[in-house]
Amino acid sequence: MIAVSSCLAGIECRYNGSHSLVEKIKDLVEQNRALLICPELLGGFSTPRESAEIVDGTGEDVLDGNAKVIEKSGNDVTKLYIKGAYKALSIIQEVNVRYVVLKENSPSCGSSIIYNGEFANTKIAGEGVTAALFRRAGIKVISEEQFLNTNFF
């Protein structure tokens, strides 16, 4: 069993109420071969919600207390992102998931690229809060692009 960001299976849970459907992932979910997770919803957010970015670092830095997740309006939502990451980790550990496909660029799920925290549509190398926590727990995390370029399933 793998776990996947819910938006990749067509669930409209992204910040703007949209999804990022990947048909191959949706098929795995329909075959009960993939578990859906949305750390932001698990953290207490609703859909739609204000966009947010990690300021002054990456997900690793957020977990270490050295960076924050801030909404475009300036509201600090760091605690909700951390809460959602830990809830998602608990869920995937219960079913012994060792492989996760997460939505790239997200402040939660970005596996190698996130926005730079200036709300200027500029991306940097780094991972989101949930991706960082999963990796700390020994879980393999990849993006949807990496997933599509593998023969894992």
Number of domains in the chain: 1
Domain presence at residue 153: no
Whole-number pLDDT of residue 150? 82
Range of the domain at 38: 2-148
Domain presence at residue 75: yes
Query: How many CB atoms sit inside 10 A of residue 53's CB?
Result: 20
Domain presence at residue 16: yes
Domain presence at residue 82: yes
Domain presence at residue 143: yes
Domain presence at residue 130: yes
Whole-number pLDDT of residue 98? 83
| pTM (predicted TM-score) | 0.96
Domain presence at residue 67: yes
Domain presence at residue 102: yes
Give the pLDDT confidence of 135-151 residue by residue, as tens digits.
999 999 999 999 999 87
The percentage of residues in the chain with a pLDDT greater than 90, rounded to a whole number, is 96
Give the pLDDT confidence of 94-132 residue by residue, as tens digits.
999 989 999 999 999 999 999 999 999 999 999 999 999
Query: How many CB atoms sit inside 10 A of residue 121's CB?
Result: 7
Contact (CB, 8 A) for 122 and 116: yes
Q: What is the CA radius of gyration of the chain?
A: 14
